[in-house]
Chain A
């Protein structure tokens, strides 16, 4: 629920850098011999639909991903809504300025009056005058395990969300549609919890030193070997925090004179890491291989700006599943590009590890590719494994280098033993090494739930973004008032959802994001779906103008190829 603020960094930056990238590519571009043909440029497709697989020969499975276009009327009404709210925002700012109304937020002191204003940019205006009004939908305290169901602390606000008060009551058994608990390992009972308790009894909770000093426990080494085996790579290392894994390791890998090609929707941690590294950053359009190929070709042909020396390294940074879009990276095409243009690939599997693929081994497994083709496999333990921390996997040389050079390996305290134990146990369950089929059951349950939930929502007429196999399901709300209304109405029906607005998404594409979990039973999902449908009718959210879910074209073209 804090994603919106965390992504501020990402968004402001993305716009900035897109402009950069465009400037760079204007210098001239190279024709012909492209691996992937450029489609007609400047033609805006009616539907932002990437349903048709461009290079279907690279895919073993249908790859169907859709982003239905915003209906024009809805877009106009959304802008109108923001316009009205902005006018009232100015009115309130005016009242605050003349002290007619009490100001609850930080403002310049009298001494600072003639200096550069601190709180006048758009983000501040937005937070003060739009976000504040529907703030009750975020940061809600939870007082139980955030599993399939959870308990919420009831809170009220008597001054329109400026302050909150706890009533002392608890809202029981709220269905949790928001946690990244893909495989349902966020539990307080069962094998994992028992193992974690044992680890606590053996090692305690705190470690109190870094990995290279006194904080290297046998449980950490065991975990790293297991992670390497799970991923199918030579070696791996783990860090105490997923965010720091990205933001501290990218600077260790690239530096001045290197080029980072980053997807425009990359997570804030990747963006921060890329900026800290002092490399040149260019941004390609989300999951758009033509855009990436063009940047790669330009980079190779023109080299560094001014000097025209070749780039020392070119690193492509992508994510497995994009958490706001629900799309899956086009990994086979990226690997083909990376091999052709001899770039390195950094794959962040934060959401996809455990959640995708027949064996739960992430996008590489999902596409049936070789993990050795990805140079740096990064992922987090926070989502599917129900633990905390992140890992990096790859060649042994790479990991040995990182152990000596990464800030989060040298200066950060190592992972808490019960957390490490939770990772080991849950990973063994997924791999089936505990001698049961519990892991396989969870994987199957997750993929069934995903298909069912996505299909039902689409049939009800909602606009759903993303890949058909992605357990992250963004549902479009568009209008600003509906963000607040949807969250509140769903909570009234005892369902906890995540709603996402501007800083994390483009301004008109506000959405609700559901995360399907293996812990959800069919009944839970049905209850949730019924409530979503009811709220959808009440708030008029069934925007989709599509009659039927489209047949997946990728598969059809594949079949026709086979028949030839």
Chain B
């Protein structure tokens, strides 16, 4: 959705493209119409929320993945021979 008109827009450099993306972000969230201090409040809340999400996922996801792997390998990896025997 974003790409096709972006090609039509003819950006001179990356900076311009990023500025355009930021503009789209302003328009879609509606904060385009807000006053600068409100914009900065919104941005800081949004970015700190995103940062927290990233941080928590960095801290906790590996542990959960390992636990999950152990759990599933406990189910599937535990008794391979007996399953094979049943099937035979």
Contacts and interface: CB of A to CB of B under 8 A. Distances in A.
Given A88-B34, A133-B33, A481 B5 contact: no
Interface string A466-484: 0000000000000111101
Nearest to A539: B27
30 contacts: A73-B1, A77-B28, A80-B28, A80-B29, A80-B30, A84-B29, A85-B33, A88-B42, A130-B33, A479-B27, A479-B30, A480-B33, A481-B26, A481-B27, A481-B28, A481-B29, A481-B31, A481-B32, A481-B33, A482-B27, A484-B32, A484-B33, A485-B27, A537-B5, A537-B9, A538-B9, A538-B20, A538-B23, A540-B1, A540-B2
A480 B5 CA distance: 21
B12 interface: no
Contacts of B70: none
Contact of B31 (A82, A84, A91): A84
Contact of B30 (A160, A480, A540): A480
A542 interface: yes
Interface of B: 1-2, 5, 8-9, 20, 23-24, 26-35, 38, 42
Given A80-B28, A480-B33, 8 more contacts: A82-B30, A85-B30, A91-B38, A133-B34, A160-B35, A481-B29, A485-B27, A542-B5
Contact of B33 (A73, A77, A80, A134): A134
| Interface of B: prevailing SS | helix
Contacts of B38: 88, 91
A539 B24 CA distance: 7
Contacts of B32: 481, 484-485
A81 B30 CA distance: 5
Contacts of A542: 5
Q: Which of A77, A82, A160, A537 has the most CB of B within 10 A?
A: A537
Interface in A503-543: 537-540, 542
Interface string A113-154: 000000000000000001001100000000000000000000
**Which of B1, B20, B27, B28 is the most central at the interface, judged by chain A CB atoms within 10 Å of its CB?**
B27
- Listed from nearest, the 6 A-B pairs whose CB atoms lie closest are A81-B30, A481-B32, A133-B33, A481-B30, A481-B27, A85-B30
B35 A479 contact: no
Contact of A84 (B5, B8, B20, B30): B30
A80 B30 CA distance: 8
B29 A540 contact: no
A91 to B, nearest CB: 8
B9 A81 contact: no
Contacts of B28: 77, 80-81, 479, 481
Contact of A540 (B24, B31, B34, B42): B24
A85 B34 CA distance: 8
Contact of B42 (A84, A481, A485): A84
Contacts of A73: 1
Given A537-B9, A538-B9, A542-B5, A81 B34 contact: no
Contacts of A82: 30
A542 B4 CA distance: 11
Interface in A80-97: 80-82, 84-85, 88, 91
Contacts of B23: 538
A130 B23 CA distance: 19
Contact of B5 (A479, A484, A485, A540): A540
Interface in A370-417: none
Contacts of A537: 5, 8-9
Nearest to A82: B30
A77 B8 CA distance: 23
A82 B20 CA distance: 22
Nearest to A482: B27
Contacts of B26: 481
A485 B28 CA distance: 11
A101 to B, nearest CB: 11
A133 B38 CA distance: 12
Nearest to B2: A540
A336 to B, nearest CB: 44
A76 B23 CA distance: 19
Nearest to B28: A77
Nearest to B23: A538
B27 A540 contact: yes
Interface in A57-89: 73, 77, 80-82, 84-85, 88
Interface string A296-316: 000000000000000000000
Nearest to A480: B30
A85 B33 CA distance: 9
Contacts of A133: 33-34
Nearest to B6: A537
Interface string A355-375: 000000000000000000000
Contacts of A91: 38
Contacts of B24: 540
A89 to B, nearest CB: 10
Contacts of B33: 85, 130, 133-134, 480-481, 484
Contacts of A130: 33
A120 to B, nearest CB: 22
Contacts of A484: 32-33
Nearest to B7: A537
A504 to B, nearest CB: 18
Contacts of B2: 540
Nearest to B26: A481
A482 B32 CA distance: 8
A395 B52 CA distance: 75
A84 B34 CA distance: 10
Contacts of A160: 35
A131 to B, nearest CB: 10
Nearest to B35: A160
Contacts of A539: 27
B42 to A, nearest CB: 7
